[in-house]
Each structure stands twice: as structure tokens, then as C-alpha cells.
A = this chain, B = another copy of it.
Amino acid sequence: MPEIRQNPATKEWVIIATERAKRPEDFITAETVKEQVPDFDEDCPFCPGHEESTPPEIMSRRLNGNWSLRVVPNKFPALIPEGEPVREKEFDLFRRMDGLGQHEVIIETPHHNASFGQISDEKALEIVTAYRERYRILSEDKRFKLVKIFRNQGKAAGTSLEHPHSQIVATPVVPLHIRHRLEEATRFYDDHGQCVFCRIIEMEMKEKDRVVMEEDGFLVIEPFAARVPFETWILPREHHATFGETTDSELRGFAKVLNRILEKFLRGLHNPAYNLVFRTAPTGDEEEEYYHWHVQIIPRLTTPAGFELGTGVYINITLPEVTAKFLRKV
């Protein structure tokens, strides 16, 4: 019997289609990173010696003249830091504005083949520290309403460049999709006097079935209404509305847990394509009680089709309880 589940934080329904059920092992792909990818690629714009291929550096970490991490503007930015966030309207119907914003690339490492899950926890900390630094700086620009950190790994996840990198986009609007999520979280807070994510953490730790790991102040779960097989959330146990408020000691725990879960993905699923996105409150909402930053990892092992596009409801062919058990064992 299929089951329909509701994400308590967003109120989105998900169909768990048990009639199509796949076992976690069925998702293992043939590829493995280590065997196929070299440490250096002559044609890669992010490899050392090709620094001229990127726009001028925004920041970097260097030791003895060699960089270990660089942040550069995206060469083909979705948004640029020019123009004004002024709405224009045509025929009293078609609203548009300048593509104002900022679009940065974090080149995580000089090594072409050293991604999360294959690096030391210290190196992971260097990367997430750069995330936090850029997040904080971009958040202070009053023209920007949301600072979104994300990471695309693998062709199926929409990335064109193999070299380990993340991206940050600052937008001049709070997207509708985000606003709806904030509204639902606020409504939960109104009803219960508690942040919905704090409640999820409490209940998942009690139920245990969907917990992948819990350490260093972070809980990793396969969410109750997982949209796709192996959808994974990393939740800080400490309540902060935005990632920018993370303390140094929390950041150290986060780096370790993030590195560990992506190692599980790499080992258990043989380097699946995935998108990793930070969920965080809009800028200026740092003090809010109702939102709670977290990270979502969305593996691209299945292809959403017409039903998903037309209803927003995902059909998931694997129970999160089953994928959680699989990942715990890896």
C-alpha cells in the first residue's frame, strides 16, 4: 500500500510508492571517483597554474605562496553586483528587475579529485569556514535578501566542472519558495511555541528509525517525508536561524559531520551525483525563533518527471527508514 507523508516543516506531501520499491543497493552506480579522476587536469580552469582562467580572486587561503582555497566571482554569473532592486512593470502585469546580486565560486582545493568524504576533517573545516566568512560578508550588504550556499556534484546534479567547488548566490529578493517555508515554520511556532526543526530533532532522536548519525552537536537524518531516495538533512542541535551565527566550535562539529556523511555516500553509493543546499533564514532574520538553519543533500539517483513538475509532490520509491539503516551501516 503506498503511503502519503507530509513534511512537517513545509506541509508538502510526498508519495512513498512502495509498489515500485527499490532496495538501497539498487542505487549503487558503477562509477568511483578515485579510480577515474586525476589529481590534476590540464584543461580544468580551477586547477593550480590556471588562475588566469577565473575572474580576479575575492579571497584565498595561502601557505608559502601556494593556495589551498580560492573564492572567485562566477565567470558566467546568474546575478551581478550592479543595478538597483527596483521593480518595473509592463502592462500592469509583467514585473521585472535588474539581475542584481552576487555569484561566487569557492574552489575548495587545488586537488582536482579531493572532494568531501575524501579529505581530512581539518580541510573540511577550512572549506566551511570560507562558507561562513562569505555568508557573513554578503549578508551585511543591505541590497541582498537571501544568501544561498550550494554544491552540485556530478553531471546528473547539473555541474559542468568536475573540480571540487561550491557556489554562493546572493539574491535581491526572498524567493516565494523560501517565503512559503518561512510562513509554515512561523505557523508551527504560533501553534506550538517551539521551532519546528527543534521539534523534529527531538522526535527523530526519540524514534531513532531515520537517524543516520548524531555527534558533535549535529543530527543527520533521512527526513520523514523524503522526496527522493537518500534525501539527507544535517541539523544543528543548537537553534540558530542562519548559518552565519554558527560558532567556531559548532563549525568544527559541522565540518566533521558533513565530511562523514559524504564519506558514507561515497563508500555506500559509489559517488552518487547530488545537490547540497543550505537552508537558512533571510538576511536580517538572524534573531528569529521560528527558523533553524540546516543542510539538505538531495541525491540525483532518480529523475523527477511530469507529475513532480505539475504537482510539486514527489514520488519516492524508497522508505527513509530503509535508507537510514543502510547509511548507518556503511
Contact = CB atoms under 8 A, between A and B. Distances in A.
Interface in A56-106: 76-80, 82-83, 91, 93-100
A98 B1 contact: yes
Interface string A138-170: 000000001010111001111100000001010
A20 to B, nearest CB: 4
A198 B17 CA distance: 37
B3 A96 contact: yes
A2 B78 contact: yes
Contacts of A4: 79, 96-100, 172-173
A245 to B, nearest CB: 19
Nearest to A199: B93
A146 B307 CA distance: 12
Given A17-B78, A306-B158, A307-B78, A96 B5 contact: yes
Most buried by B among A13, A20, A157: A13
A310 B150 contact: yes
Interface of A: 1-6, 8, 10-13, 15-20, 76-80, 82-83, 91, 93-100, 146, 148, 150-152, 155-159, 167, 169, 171-173, 175-178, 180, 199-200, 203, 206-207, 224, 275-279, 296, 298, 302-307, 309-313, 315
B16 A99 contact: yes
A311 B2 contact: no
A175 B12 contact: yes
Contact of A279 (B11, B97, B304, B310): B310
A1 B83 contact: yes
A63 to B, nearest CB: 30
26 contacts: A2-B78, A2-B79, A2-B80, A3-B98, A4-B98, A4-B173, A12-B176, A12-B177, A15-B99, A17-B77, A19-B80, A78-B315, A148-B307, A148-B310, A150-B305, A150-B307, A156-B303, A157-B303, A157-B305, A167-B306, A169-B311, A176-B180, A275-B305, A275-B310, A276-B306, A277-B306
A4 B99 CA distance: 5
A176 B18 CA distance: 22
B96 A6 contact: yes
